[in-house]
Chain A
Amino acid sequence: MKLLTRYMPLAVTLLACAFLLVPTLQSVLAGITANYFRGLSSGLTLKWVGEVWGLYADSILLSIWLALACLAVTLLIGVPAAYALARAPGRLSRVLEEFISLPLAIPGLALALALLQLYGAQQGFRAHWSFILVGHVLYTLPFMVRAVQAVLAAIDLKTLEEGAASLGAPPWRRFVDIVVPNALPGILAGSLTVVTLSIGEFNLTWMLHTPLLKTLPVGLADSYASMRLEIASAYTLVFFVMIVPLLMAMQWATARAQRILS
């Protein structure tokens, strides 16, 4: 009994790790095995990765492009907004914050249906990549605003700004010279979160995409449904190679921003 209570937590931890890790390793292996059904004895190959590039290069490039565009838009909208919200903390600011955070609480599918029904008839917009971009910005913007706002709320913004104002700096100069440099750890953490989430976004994108505009996760769904296991796995491997470093950088930047806060 004592032995059980002592080793049970470790056993649960290890089992959970195995549950999460084993299929990940399987997909990595399947992606570089010549014939998954025959096993590793059939030899290792990069043939499948090459085929993925031939089949899905467009979707990979589109995802990178969308992630960068999404980053640019969330920076332009989110950083000034976080500043304004941090400077005027009140009920109105909280209501607005709550409102822009709705995309975190409502399933992406519902948001996508809402967007489709309002803008779906405008063919020029509907078939353009910026329609998918809108969905990505909707979903990632709250993360940028929160990350920047948390940092700004922790520093003595008022004193810094008053100092600059007394030296004659107009509001926009104070924003550029004081607010942005001080908010940098938050901006970095927010940016990495935005890029990571945008590259992996599926729920909204599946509804918003068109046959000519497939993102990486849309292509993944496509390959899971219609390609042999080795190609689906190789494509997943490509995705892992992109997303895992981003995830690690994001966790590092978030921990760093939090250290500065405390």
Chain B
Amino acid sequence: MTARHFGTLCLLPLLIFSLAFLALPLVRLVLSSAAGEAGWGIYLQMLQKPRYLSALAQTLAVSAAVTVVALAVSTTAGLYLARNRFRGRAILLSILTLPLAFPGVVVGFMIILLGGRQGLVNQITPGHLVFAYSTFGLFLGYLYFSIPRVLLTVMAAAEKIDPALEEAARSLGAPPSRVLWDVLLPALRPAMVAAGAIAFATAMGAFGTAFTLATDIDVLPMVIYTEFTLSANFAMASALSIALGLVTWSVLLIARSLSGGAVASGG
């Protein structure tokens, strides 16, 4: 057996697996979307029905808000942790990366513990504040799993910034705020674009957290889920999943071409 043949043989299991369980199912998903009464017109229907449009708008709005806040919080914390050494830093860092391994449902439960009927906020405020099942609760849930992802990407980039750049700016008389805006943030821009894209795409497609919290909120993954399981509207569920998949995939693709690095969402 030649080396070339051996190489092909090594690739064969992967090719078979991804053909059977990725390529063919995706083709089937596309075909199923057009198998309903409307045919390919279902994509037009999707854009005409107020229910789907408002779900799309709501999902985009929550995801955008989460992306902005997660970037602000994680860049601040990431820069701080990357540039300061102090006792307890390692502990703070572990706390901030802990939720990386939490499934969406667990994140949803964390928000219930904070803002549910038996939650912390409801217990300590006199006004009985329950927000876990509102859009704000969903926003907090998405923020919960976005902070660690953004933080890790930003910190990796922050640690690579040449300290000489900052010293040069300071020796030229730049105050800390100018150093931040003119030196640090431009250096972090590619990482922030990449991290923002991951946060946005993950929030758009987040199912577990929405499943736990969004009982009354129409976000796209929940609409897809109810169309499929309750209404048995397979064509619409397929069409909506394809639309959602195209959005998340292209956001990550665009972000990667802008930032030049590898981007992967992980949730």
Q: Is A77 an interface residue (CB 8 A)?
A: yes
A 229-262 contacts with B by CB, 8 A? 229, 232-233, 236, 239, 243-244, 246-248, 250-251
B 1-43 contacts with A by CB, 8 A? 1-3, 5-11, 13-15, 17-18, 21-26, 28-29, 32
Q: Are B212 and A100 in contact (CB under 8 A)?
A: no
A37 to B248, CA, bound (A): 41
Chain A residue nearest to B105 (CB atoms) is A221
How many residues from B make CB contacts under 8 Å with A?
88
Closest Cβ of chain A to B128, distance in Å, is 14
Q: Which of the candidate stretches A5-13, A41-49, A54-62, A181-189 sits at the interface with the other chain?
A: A5-13
Q: Are B21 and A9 in contact (CB under 8 A)?
A: no
Q: Are B81 and A229 in contact (CB under 8 A)?
A: no
Chain A residue nearest to B13 (CB atoms) is A77
A104 to B197, CA, bound (A): 13
Q: Are A110 and B244 in contact (CB under 8 A)?
A: yes
Closest Cβ of chain B to A134, distance in Å, is 5
Q: Are B241 and A206 in contact (CB under 8 A)?
A: no
A 143-188 contacts with B by CB, 8 A? 145, 165, 170-172, 175
A117 to B28, CA, bound (A): 7
A44 to B89, CA, bound (A): 31
Q: Are A20 and B212 in contact (CB under 8 A)?
A: no
A 23-61 contacts with B by CB, 8 A? 23-24, 26-27, 30, 36-37
Chain B residue nearest to A223 (CB atoms) is B109
A142 to B144, CA, bound (A): 25
Q: Is B80 an interface residue (CB 8 A)?
A: yes
Q: Which chain A residues border B21 with CB–CB below 8 Å?
A: 115, 134, 137-138
Q: Which chain B residues border A81 with CB–CB below 8 Å?
A: 10-11, 13-14
Closest Cβ of chain B to A245, distance in Å, is 10
A174 to B231, CA, bound (A): 55
Q: Which chain A residues border B212 with CB–CB below 8 Å?
A: 221, 224
Q: Which chain B residues border A83 with CB–CB below 8 Å?
A: 7, 10
Q: Which chain B residues border A203 with CB–CB below 8 Å?
A: 103-104, 205, 207-208, 267
Closest Cβ of chain A to B91, distance in Å, is 9
A183 to B143, CA, bound (A): 36
Q: Which chain B residues border A22 with CB–CB below 8 Å?
A: 114, 120
Q: Are A217 and B7 in contact (CB under 8 A)?
A: no
Q: Are B211 and A221 in contact (CB under 8 A)?
A: yes
Q: Which chain A residues border B9 with CB–CB below 8 Å?
A: 80
Closest Cβ of chain A to B225, distance in Å, is 7
A187 to B130, CA, bound (A): 46
Q: Is A101 an interface residue (CB 8 A)?
A: yes
- Which residue, of A76, A85, A110, A145, has the highest number of chain B Cβ atoms within 10 A? A110
A 92-125 contacts with B by CB, 8 A? 96, 99-111, 113-115, 117-119
Q: Which chain A residues border B224 with CB–CB below 8 Å?
A: 109-110, 113
Q: Are A102 and B241 in contact (CB under 8 A)?
A: no
Q: Pick the residue among B1, B10, B113 that contacts A170 (CB under 8 A).
A: B1
Q: Pick the residue among B6, B22, B248 that contacts A171 (CB under 8 A).
A: B6
- Which residue, of B21, B24, B212, has the highest number of chain A Cβ atoms within 10 A? B21
B 51-91 contacts with A by CB, 8 A? 73-74, 76-77, 79-81
Chain B residue nearest to A99 (CB atoms) is B18
Closest Cβ of chain A to B2, distance in Å, is 8
Q: Are B105 and A202 in contact (CB under 8 A)?
A: yes
Given contact pairs A80-B10, A99-B18, enumerate 12 new A-B contacts (beta carbons under 8 Å): A8-B76, A9-B76, A17-B96, A20-B96, A23-B120, A26-B114, A88-B7, A104-B264, A110-B29, A114-B28, A171-B1, A203-B205
Please name the 4 residue pairs, one residue from A and one from B, whose CB atoms are nearest each other, closest first: A107-B205, A171-B6, A110-B241, A80-B10
Chain A interface residues (CB < 8 Å from chain B): 5, 8-10, 12-14, 16-17, 19-24, 26-27, 30, 36-37, 76-78, 80-81, 83-85, 87-88, 96, 99-111, 113-115, 117-119, 134, 137-138, 141-142, 145, 165, 170-172, 175, 196-197, 200-203, 206, 217, 220-221, 224, 229, 232-233, 236, 239, 243-244, 246-248, 250-251
Q: Can you give 18 contacting A-B residue pairs, CB < 8 Å?
A: A16-B96, A22-B114, A24-B110, A80-B13, A84-B8, A96-B14, A96-B15, A105-B264, A107-B204, A113-B238, A114-B26, A115-B21, A134-B21, A141-B17, A220-B105, A221-B105, A224-B112, A232-B109
